[in-house]
Amino acid sequence: MSIDFFGRKLNTYRANLHTHSTLSDGEFTPDQVTDLYSKAGYDVMCFTDHRKNSRISEIDPRGMLLLPGAELHPTGGRITISHLLCVDLPEDFDVSIAERGKLGENHMQPTIDAVNAAGGLCFFAHPYWCGFRAEEIAALHGLAGIEVYNTSTRYIGKAYNMHIWDDLCDMYCPLPALAVDDVHHAHDLFGGWTEICCEERTAECITAALRNGHYYATQGPRFKRLSYHDGIFEAEFTPVTTAIGMSNRCRGFCAEVPNFTGDGKTREITSCRFDVSGFFAPGKTSIKSTYLRLQIIDAQGRYAWSNPVAIP
Ligand SMILES: [Zn+2]
Ligand SMILES: [Zn+2]
């Protein structure tokens, strides 16, 4: 599919960027899990086994672009260990860097620095499931983003990370966010993915798009156009019943929410337009919007999330 991405006509590539195999605690061998995602129509997959480099050069990509990666677990200070999703990590990266922190020590920053120095991208994985607070994430430098949705953590009710994401945005840390399966078992397959927006499906283009936040997270709904010009945010998308421009604290922009208008009817919409420049909540004029991110939900309850746009 294609997208009008803030004035640029780009292709979208469906990606699962958080994948485990029998190299760590996954149920499927690297070949089996590659086969599953390829047959489901995915374009890009990243192997991220725990504390292990992936050897994508030894795997038949079955028509997909495979990226090397790993999930690293440096000590997290207050929290015993963290989960850092490292994408496009060179196959010879020394993963032992992440194991050098002592319990109680915060060893996340040296790990993030080493991943960035090696040319990789570091995302903060499933922060709600781990128990991290937004301020602990905001204190880190060099993160490429966080996970807003993680299929494998839904079994204890902690798959969605919107609250932590919005806290980060409120702290002037508007990181982009991925949706991932974090697949370990068959019941984790295809619950959420990232649509990467770029010209072509080469490792160079795909990783540049990931570095620049040129993607959106989804469980099904698709964005066809995203635009922000002179204080006006506009979007077009596949049919949904809820479309909300999420912004700071009590700020928000509602295009449609079932039952919100009081008539109890569910309508489907395929576009929205928010005048971000002119909106002030009554009596709350001192609260300025600094970001806007679009969140849409379809009739089946599936979400899609645009990345935050900074409002000057
Ligand atoms: Zn994890
Ligand atoms: Zn994982």
- Which pLDDT tens digit goes with each residue over 261-279? 667 677 899 999 998 876 5
Q: How far is the CA of 20 from the centre of ligand 1 (A)?
A: 10
Correct CATH for 223-310 of 3.40.1000, 1.10.60, 2.60.40, 3.90.320: 2.60.40
Q: Helix, strand, or coil here: 36? A: helix
Check whether 33 has a pLDDT greater than 80: yes
The arithmetic mean of pLDDT across residues 19-32, rounded, is 97
Check whether 285 has a pLDDT greater than 60: no
Correct CATH for 8-217 of 3.20.20.140, 3.40.50.10490, 3.40.50.1370, 3.30.930.10: 3.20.20.140
Q: How far is the CA of 189 from the centre of ligand 2 (A)?
A: 13
pLDDT in tens, 217-260: 999 999 999 999 988 999 999 999 999 999 988 788 888 777 66
Q: How far apart are CA 189 and CA 182, in angstroms?
A: 9
Q: How confident is the model at residue 78 (pLDDT cuts 50, 70, 90)?
A: very high
Instruction: Name the closest ligand to CA 124.
Output: 1
Q: How far apart are CA 107 and CA 304, in angstroms?
A: 33
Q: How far is the CA of 153 from the centre of ligand 1 (A)?
A: 9
Q: Give residue 286's pLDDT.
A: 56
Q: How far apart are CA 27 and CA 30, in angstroms?
A: 10
The arithmetic mean of pLDDT across residues 11-15, rounded, is 98
11: left (phi over 0), alpha (psi -120 to 50) or beta: beta
Domain residue spans in the chain? Answer: 8-217, 223-310
The arithmetic mean of pLDDT across residues 100-126, rounded, is 97
Q: Helix, strand, or coil here: 100? A: coil
Note residues around ion ligand 1 (Cβ under 5 angstroms): 83, 125
Q: Give residue 252's pLDDT.
A: 83
Beta strands in 48-205 (DSSP E): 65-67, 69-72, 75-76, 79-81, 84-87, 121-124, 145-150, 177-180, 193-198
Instruction: Name the closest ligand to CA 129.
Output: 1
